[in-house]
């Protein structure tokens, strides 16, 4: 490590995110979750770059325009010291981190000035203690019931689901209770939004509308973040929620929100739901956003569009020197039939980062490739083309 200076609270929080992200810890995965740290983080990349300069994290490019960040040995030791633990007190890959990610995907991080907790259960305990001093907002639950529900929703999956059982058959009451949980503490917003997936469509739409009317950007963003699926590298994987008109209205509002955090979360959800064609105008407004995360998800979401304007924009971005943006554009072009000619030119071209993005598009994204293009790819002597072409055939046959 070239710099032994103390970690800031923000750096400590980002190191914890890298640790907890494991093999999911790409820059956009980290950027999506950085707002939960309680700090204004418009772009997590400068923080990661500074941590890399200090020798605390390392970046690996994994193809398809994607990267992965991991703690170095020095970073792991520095984080353990910052969290008040001996560097030898916790084995590498300790199970609590992975279990916490699976059980409580909406559990927020620590607030500024606090020492980072060792795991999600300790964070939930600290929030529960803090909630004891907060006034009880109006709603269907009394103080004890409300605090118990808030604690359960930020615990493991079994505990949170069990806590919803008494309310599950009364949609309006469950909706009001979840909003009351958010009013008690905005840090509960993502957990409450995740629980709203148990609501019936009408109650779910009312819940979403009231979340989007909240004046706090973090609450509005939490709705999209909670509804997005764990896997966000392939479009259209989100669990169905609202009916198409209500979903499109929700996305439009999110994409035009004054908060860049909300716009980024809405763009990611537009990609996850495959609704790019329905909100193409709102996506185009964000296409030249300076925030890397917002632009990344906007580019990917335009893979669901079919208009000439967005096609031309994606072709231009694919030629940009920014490899991450260009790789996202290649993947978006693979997702739309009118983008196949430009995508195939990269796929059939020389090796490089963009071609690896094109290979990912063939393996995981593209559908309906023209027979003559398939025949041409079948004659390509490169082993990687044949491998992903076989994956494409298996994937498309399985879904047909």
Q: What's the token pair of residue 333?
A: 């072009």
CA distances in angstroms from 165 to 104, 159, 191, listed in the order given: 18, 10, 16
State how far the Cα of 199 lies from the Cα of 275, in Å rounded to an integer. 22
CATH level 2 (architecture), domain 228-305 = Alpha Horseshoe (1.25)
Instruction: Give kind and range of the element (H or E) at residue 189.
Output: helix 189-195
Q: What is the pLDDT of residue 398?
A: 65
SS3 167: helix
Q: What is the pLDDT of residue 46?
A: 81
Q: What is the pLDDT of residue 112?
A: 34
Q: What is the pLDDT of residue 63?
A: 63
Provide φ and ψ at 68, rounded to 5°: -135, 140
State how far the Cα of 152 lies from the Cα of 158, in Å rounded to an integer. 9
CATH class as words, domain 9-93: mainly alpha
State how far the Cα of 15 lies from the Cα of 32, in Å rounded to an integer. 15
State how far the Cα of 130 lies from the Cα of 44, in Å rounded to an integer. 28
- Residue 289 burial (10 A CB sphere; 0-12, 13-18, 19+): middle
The reply to whether 9-93 and 331-399 are identical in fold is no
Sequence-ordered list of residues with C-beta below 8 angstroms from that of 303, at least 6 positions apart, any chain:
235, 271, 276, 314, 331, 332, 333, 334, 335, 336, 339, 365
CATH number of this structure's domain 331-399, picked from the four choices 1.10.230, 3.30.950, 1.25.10, 1.10.3470: 1.25.10
For 65-87, write each residue's pLDDT tens digit. 567 899 999 889 888 888 775 44
Q: What is the pLDDT of residue 133?
A: 64
Instruction: List 68's β-bridge partners, or say none.
Output: 60
Based on DSSP, count helices (H) and strands (E) in the chain, helices before strands.
22, 2
Residue 6: DSSP 8-state: P
* Residue at token pair 């304007």: 309
How many degrees, rounded to 5, is the angle at CA 271 between CA 203 and CA 42?
95
Please list the ranges in the chain whose pLDDT falls under 70.
Answer: 1-4, 32, 34-43, 63-66, 85-133, 398-400
State how far the Cα of 381 lies from the Cα of 202, in Å rounded to an integer. 54
Domain boundaries, given as residue ranges, for the chain: 9-93, 116-219, 228-305, 331-399
Q: What is the pLDDT of residue 151?
A: 94
Closest by CA to 168, choosing from 139, 197, 126, is 197
Instruction: List 24's β-bridge partners, or say none.
Output: none
How many degrees, rounded to 5, is the angle at CA 256 between CA 250 and CA 260?
110
Q: What is the pLDDT of residue 102?
A: 33
Angle between helix 353-360 and helix 323-335 axes, rounded to 10 deg: 30
State how far the Cα of 32 lies from the Cα of 326, in Å rounded to an integer. 20
């Amino acid at each position: 490590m070239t710099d032994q200076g103390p970690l800031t609270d923000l750096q400590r929080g980002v190191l914890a995110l890298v640790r907890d992200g494991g093999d999911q810890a790409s820059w956009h995965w980290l950027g999506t979750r950085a707002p939960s740290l309680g700090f204004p983080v418009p772009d997590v990349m400068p923080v990661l770059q500074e941590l890399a300069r200090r020798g605390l994290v390392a970046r690996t490019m994994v193809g398809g325009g994607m990267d992965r960040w991991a703690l170095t040995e020095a970073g792991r030791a520095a984080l353990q010291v910052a969290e008040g633990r001996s560097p030898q007190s916790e084995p590498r890959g300790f199970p609590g981190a992975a279990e916490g990610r699976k059980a409580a995907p909406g559990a927020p991080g620590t607030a500024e000035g606090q020492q980072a907790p060792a795991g999600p259960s300790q964070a939930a305990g600290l929030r529960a203690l803090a909630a004891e001093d907060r006034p009880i907002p109006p709603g269907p639950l009394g103080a004890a019931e409300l605090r118990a529900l808030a604690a359960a929703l930020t615990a493991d999956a079994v505990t949170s689901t069990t806590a919803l059982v008494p309310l599950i058959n009364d949609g309006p009451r469950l909706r009001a209770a979840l909003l009351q949980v958010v009013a008690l503490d905005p840090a509960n917003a993502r957990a409450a939004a995740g629980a709203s997936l148990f609501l019936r469509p009408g109650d779910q739409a009312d819940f979403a509308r009231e979340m989007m009317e909240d004046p706090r950007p973090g609450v509005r963003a939490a709705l999209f973040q909670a509804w997005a699926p764990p896997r966000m590298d392939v479009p259209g994987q989100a669990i169905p929620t609202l009916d198409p008109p209500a979903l499109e209205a929700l996305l439009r509002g999110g994409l035009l929100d004054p908060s860049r955090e909300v716009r980024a979360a809405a763009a990611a959800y537009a990609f996850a739901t495959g609704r790019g064609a329905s909100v193409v105008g709102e996506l185009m407004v964000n296409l030249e956003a300076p925030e890397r995360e917002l632009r990344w998800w906007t580019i990917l979401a335009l893979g669901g569009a079919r208009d000439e304007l967005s096609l031309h924009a994606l072709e231009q971005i694919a030629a940009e020197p920014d490899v991450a943006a260009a790789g996202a554009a290649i993947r978006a072009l693979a997702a739309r039939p009118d983008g196949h000619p430009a995508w195939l030119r990269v796929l059939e071209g020389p090796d490089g980062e963009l071609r690896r993005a094109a290979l990912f598009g063939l393996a995981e994204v593209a559908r309906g490739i023209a027979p003559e293009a398939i025949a041409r790819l079948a004659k390509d002597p490169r082993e990687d083309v044949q491998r992903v072409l076989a994956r494409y055939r298996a994937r498309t046959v399985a879904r047909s």
